[in-house]
Each structure stands twice: as structure tokens, then as C-alpha cells.
């Protein structure tokens, strides 16, 4: 054998050995490993599937607990009695008074059995390649003759003479109850004409309520702990459209709704004593009872920002910020905004100002004394034998006529209607013989009793005269009688009223000479006064001057 042949033979033997080793390795090493890997993958998939199912079951526990909470009590008799009372309450709340609820019955249909959640033991299951995970949950098939998952209670309700509003109110209230129940049959018929009253509906209902297996026993029908539950009647829905679009009697006319109105608010003036104020807000119309009111201040008088509003009394509290130092021009504007729950907004505004500082009144100017303008200008006899004296008041102007008739003295006052016409002043109302000087513009206020006529003078008596004030020089105002002030009431002299002989303590007698003014009266001595009074009492008001002096 040559060297070449020997080399080829060695290569051939090596290839045969390598191929045989590969075949052996595939069948005895690689194939078993692949089988093991596939088995492990299958077991992992099965374990993952079981974990997913267990996780889903664990996650459903909360939903199962919520549903069990909504179940009727497990005691059938208790559930029957309490649920019937609930239906009657819902019917009364909807004002469905003519109703009837026959006896309840338990439906015979077979409910599905409740599956059980089984926790596997830590030991590996027989025939498995890998051990089971410790405590892994598994679902066990239901056993034969297992108790049903729930029981159904059926109630029938019959209602007479209902209207669509009452039906809608009942359905909304029914589906707002936190229980496992439903209406499986609803039949509404009308037993009158569409043009007649809208309360002729007959309603027939079939209701099913559920008692879950293994529901927690309780003494009340409704769950003890109210939580947000999945109920059919949503709070955000408006079920009134079912009634407005009444399919039995026709669409209802739209309601007469009064829009929200915010009444006028008057301006407020704060005092300077720091006392707060309250402003009433008058809201009327739809949504007024639940409207939110916000009052905001702006300006220099009040602090800017939101003010306190009392919804119970509908008043805005205005803080008392006014003091003596607050400027007169300080003001604030209050903006009032009222908003309903539907978003309707109305606005008003009013002003708040500070009271003006009190102004010290100017002292009254002294009034003029017109005594020098009042003069005795005429003293003469009458045709009836009496005497007559004329006193002229140039400041008003007035004219006084004093006349005697027997022992009686009369005084009349005249006002100047025109240049030559004088008219009797009907406002001059004093007792007999009283001569009174008074007006609204001067300081001259004097009242006398005419005592006697004495030669070329008139004797008058004055009681309690005050000291004359210091006044400016007299002046004669213009104008005629209709524009002049009325004569004020004088104080008549009680010393000689009615009877000249009657006297009061401390009278003062004056002699008013012809041509003299009121400011130039001559005061008589007590002896002269006594003698004149005595002579007047005996002879009347005409006194002889010489006789008086002798007395």
C-alpha cells in the first residue's frame, strides 16, 4: 500500500467515525434534550395560564363582593317582606296611591352552580415533569347537586289612575336603589281619551330581585354601608323629558319659567363711627334658591376683594371703615354676581360712600331793632266823643288805630294794600286793648296794654319786658302786605285785661307822647302809675293830665 492510499484510508475512517458520532449524539443527546425543553415550555405555558386565570379570579373578588353587597338578605322570608315594603314606599313617594302588590313567588328556573376556587397543595401533582408552585390557586369543577348561585324572587305590581310624571318618578327611584333587581315586564295602557285628564294610565310591572348564594346575612334590606354603586338611574341624566314628551296624551307645553332676576340695590352711606352695614340682596326667578352670590369691593373706601355674604339671610356685610379722618370723596363700588347651578348669571352693582362731615352752622345774625320806626303820629277825638290814636310802623308797614268807647279800649291793625289803601289785618288777634308789635325779620317784640289817653300822650302798661338787645340801625324793607310776614302772637298784659282796675305784681307804665317812637317811651314813676290806674278805674281810659299829677 502506497503512502497515498494509506492517507486516503485514514481520512475515510475519520469521516466514518465522525458521522457515526454525530448520529449517536443526535439520537441519544440532542433529541432527549429537545423533548425535555419542549416539556418544560409546555409546563411553563400551563403555569402562566393558570396564574392568569387565578389573577383574574382574584381581581373579580372585588366585583363579586360588590355584587354580594347588593344582594337581598339570604333569608327569603325577610327579603320578601322588606322588599315589598320598599316597593310600597317607592309607589307612595311617586304619589301612586291606587296600587296593588300580589304575593311574591320564587322562580323555578335552575340557576348555574357556583364554581369553587381551590388552593393547590405544595406537593407536585402525579405524572408532572415539574413540581407545582406552592399555594397556586386552581379552579375546581362544580360537584353534582351543588346549590344554585342565586335565587330569583318575582313581584308583580298593578297601578291604576297614574300620570306619566308619576311613572317616571317611580322608575327613576326604582333604578336608584342599591340592590340586585330589575323590571322584566312593563305594560302601560290608557283607559281614557287623549283630550281628557292625563291621569288615566294603568301600569303593570313584573320585578325580579336576586338573592346570591353565600350573601352576608343582615337585618336590613339595603346594604348597611352606602357606597357609590352601579345603578341604572344616573344622577347626571334628566328623565323629565320622558314626561314632557308624553306618548299617551301628547307633548306637554313648555313651562312658564321666570328668569333669574337680581333686584335693584340702593347706594349705601357709611357713618363715621366705624359701624358696619348690611345690604339685602333680592333674588327671584328660577334657580334663585340655590344661586351662589359673590360680592366684590373695589375703590378707595373699602378694602378691595370679596365681601362676606350670608346665604341664610341673603345679606352682604359691609365693613365699617368710616372715621372722622376719612376723606369726603372716598367711595367704593360693590359688584354683585349671582350664578345658578345651570350657569345662569345675573349682575348688579351699587356704590358705598362716606357721610359728609357735619358743617358748623353760622351764628345767626342779629336782627334789627325797628323801635325807632314805630311812632305815635295822630292823637285826636272821634265823632262819638271818644279818642283816637294812630301809630305808624314804617318798617313793615303797619298802621295801628287805638280808639276809646266809654271805658273800653280797642286796637286794630291795618296793612297797606296800595299807596293810599289800607286794609284791616285779620291776622291781628289779641285781647281787647292789647297793642302788640312783632314780626319775623326784626328783634322788636313788645306787647302793651293801652291804659289811658292823657293829653297828647297814650299811657301803656308792659309786664316782664326783657332788656333791649344791641342791634343794627333800623331799615325799612320793601314790598307790600301780601309778601310781608304775619303778625306773631303777643303776650297780653294781664294787669289790665278785662278790667283796668285789676293789677298783677310789678307792672311797668309808660307815657307815649305824640310824635315819639317806640324807643322813646317815658317810664312813669310808681306814684304816677298808681294815680293813673286809680283814675282809670273810676272814670275810664280818658285821664286829665293835671288831675293825674295832683293825685
For residue 451, give the C-alpha cell.
291804659
CATH number at residue 308: 2.60.40.10
- Whether 226 is covered by a domain: the verdict is no
CA distance 18 to 132: 42
For residue 2, give the C-alpha cell.
502506497
Could you tell me the CA-to-CA distances from 537 to 148, 410, 496, 531, 532 in Å, in that order? 137, 17, 10, 10, 8
| Under 8 Å between Cβ of 188 and 243 | no
pLDDT value for 229:
61
pLDDT value for 488:
41
**Do 491 and 533 lie in a common domain?**
yes
Distance of CA 352 to the CA centre of its chain: 18
Cβ atoms within 10 Å of 125's Cβ, excluding its own: 11
Domain count, the chain: 3
| Under 8 Å between Cβ of 532 and 442 | no
pTM, 2 dp: 0.41
pLDDT value for 115:
57
**Do 526 and 400 lie in a common domain?**
yes
Radius of gyration of the chain from Cα atoms? 60
Handedness of CA 89, 91, 95, 99 (dihedral sign): negative
CATH number at residue 213: 3.30.70.60
Strands, E assignment, 170-291: 181-190, 201-212, 261-262, 268-270, 277-280, 283-284
**Do 396 and 508 lie in a common domain?**
yes
**Do 236 and 273 lie in a common domain?**
no
**Do 239 and 265 lie in a common domain?**
no
pLDDT value for 116:
57
- Whether 10 is covered by a domain: the verdict is no
Could you tell me the CA-to-CA distances from 285 to 270, 292, 344 in Å, in that order? 31, 14, 11
**Do 337 and 402 lie in a common domain?**
no
**Do 270 and 251 lie in a common domain?**
no
**Do 251 and 285 lie in a common domain?**
no
> How high is the mean pLDDT in each 10-residue block of the chain (551 residues)?
79 81 78 86 88 79 81 92 94 94 81 56 44 47 66 94 93 92 94 90 95 89 74 79 88 82 93 91 91 94 93 93 86 94 92 87 85 92 85 92 88 91 91 91 91 91 59 42 42 38 62 94 91 86 55 41
**Do 272 and 170 lie in a common domain?**
no
- Whether 505 is covered by a domain: the verdict is yes
CA distance 211 to 355: 75
Residue 85 structural domain: 74-116+146-219+232-255
**Do 448 and 483 lie in a common domain?**
yes
Q: What is the largest CA-CA distance in the chain?
A: 216
**Do 350 and 419 lie in a common domain?**
no
DSSP 532: H
Task: Kindly give, in sequence order, each residue whose CB lies less than 8 Å from that of residue 117, ignoring residues fewer than 6 positions away.
Answer: 57, 137, 139, 140
Residue 439's φ and ψ, nearest 5 degrees, are -150, -175
pLDDT value for 118:
52
- Whether 33 is covered by a domain: the verdict is no
Cβ atoms within 10 Å of 437's Cβ, excluding its own: 24
- Whether 37 is covered by a domain: the verdict is no
**Do 91 and 159 lie in a common domain?**
yes
Amino acid at each position: 500500500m502506497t503512502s497515498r492510499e494509506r492517507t486516503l484510508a485514514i481520512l475515510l475512517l475519520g469521516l466514518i467515525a465522525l458521522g457515526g458520532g454525530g448520529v449517536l449524539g443526535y439520537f441519544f443527546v440532542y433529541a432527549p434534550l429537545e423533548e425535555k425543553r419542549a416539556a418544560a415550555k409546555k409546563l411553563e405555558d400551563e403555569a402562566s395560564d393558570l396564574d392568569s386565570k387565578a389573577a383574574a379570579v382574584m381581581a373579580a373578588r372585588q366585583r363579586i363582593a360588590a355584587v354580594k353587597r347588593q344582594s337581598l338578605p339570604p333569608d327569603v322570608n325577610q327579603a320578601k317582606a322588606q322588599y315589598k315594603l320598599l316597593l310600597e314606599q317607592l309607589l307612595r313617594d311617586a304619589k301612586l296611591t291606587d296600587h296593588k302588590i300580589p304575593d311574591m313567588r320564587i322562580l323555578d328556573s335552575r340557576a348555574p352552580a357556583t364554581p369553587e376556587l381551590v388552593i393547590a397543595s405544595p406537593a407536585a401533582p402525579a405524572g408532572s415533569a415539574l413540581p407545582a408552585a406552592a399555594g397556586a390557586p386552581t379552579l375546581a369543577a362544580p360537584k353534582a347537586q351543588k346549590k344554585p348561585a342565586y335565587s330569583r324572587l318575582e313581584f308583580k305590581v298593578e297601578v291604576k289612575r297614574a300620570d306619566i310624571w308619576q311613572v317616571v318618578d317611580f322608575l327613576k327611584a326604582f333604578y336608584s336603589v342599591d340592590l340586585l333587581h330589575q323590571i322584566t315586564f312593563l305594560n302601560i295602557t290608557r283607559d281614557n281619551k287623549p283630550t281628557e285628564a292625563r291621569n288615566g294610565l294603568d301600569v303593570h310591572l313584573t320585578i325580579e330581585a336576586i338573592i346570591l348564594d353565600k350573601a352576608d346575612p343582615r337585618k336590613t334590606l339595603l346594604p348597611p354601608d352606602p357606597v357609590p354603586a352601579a345603578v341604572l338611574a344616573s344622577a347626571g341624566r334628566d328623565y323629565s323629558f320622558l314626561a314632557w314628551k308624553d306618548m299617551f296624551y301628547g307633548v306637554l307645553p313648555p313651562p312658564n319659567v321666570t328668569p333669574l332676576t337680581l333686584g335693584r340695590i340702593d347706594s349705601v352711606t357709611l357713618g363715621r363711627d366705624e359701624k358696619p352695614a348690611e345690604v339685602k340682596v333680592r333674588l327671584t326667578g328660577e334657580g334663585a334658591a340655590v344661586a351662589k352670590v359673590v360680592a366684590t369691593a373695589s375703590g378707595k373706601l373699602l378694602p378691595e376683594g370679596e365681601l362676606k355674604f350670608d346665604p341664610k339671610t341673603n345679606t352682604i356685610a359691609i365693613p365699617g371703615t368710616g372715621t372722622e379722618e376719612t376723606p369726603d370723596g372716598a367711595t367704593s363700588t360693590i359688584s354683585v354676581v349671582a350664578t345658578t347651578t345651570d350657569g345662569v348669571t345675573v349682575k348688579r352693582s351699587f356704590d358705598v360712600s362716606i357721610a359728609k362731615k357735619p358743617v358748623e352752622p353760622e351764628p345767626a345774625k342779629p336782627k334789627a331793632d325797628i323801635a325807632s320806626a314805630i311812632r305815635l303820629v295822630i292823637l285826636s277825638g272821634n265823632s262819638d266823643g271818644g279818642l283816637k290814636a294812630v301809630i305808624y310802623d314804617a318798617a313793615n308797614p303797619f298802621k295801628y288805630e287805638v280808639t276809646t268807647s266809654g271805658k273800653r279800649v280797642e286796637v286794630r291793625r291795618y296793612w297797606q294794600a296800595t299807596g293810599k289803601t289800607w286794609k284791616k289785618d285779620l291776622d291781628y288777634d289779641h285781647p281787647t286793648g292789647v297793642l302788640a308789635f312783632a314780626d319775623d325779620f326784626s328783634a322788636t317784640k313788645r306787647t302793651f296794654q293801652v291804659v289811658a289817653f292823657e293829653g297828647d300822650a297814650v299811657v301803656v302798661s308792659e309786664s316782664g319786658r326783657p332788656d333791649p338787645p344791641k342791634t343794627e340801625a333800623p331799615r325799612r324793607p320793601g314790598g307790600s302786605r301780601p309778601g310781608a310776614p304775619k303778625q306773631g302772637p303777643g303776650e297780653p298784659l294781664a294787669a289790665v285785661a278785662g278790667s283796668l282796675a285789676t293789677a298783677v305784681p310789678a307792672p311797668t307804665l309808660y307815657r307815649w307822647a305824640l310824635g315819639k317812637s317806640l324807643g322813646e317811651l317815658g317810664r312813669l314813676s310808681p306814684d304816677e302809675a298808681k294815680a293813673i290806674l286809680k283814675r282809670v278805674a273810676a272814670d275810664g281810659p280818658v285821664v286829665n293830665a293835671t288831675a293825674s299829677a295832683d293825685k
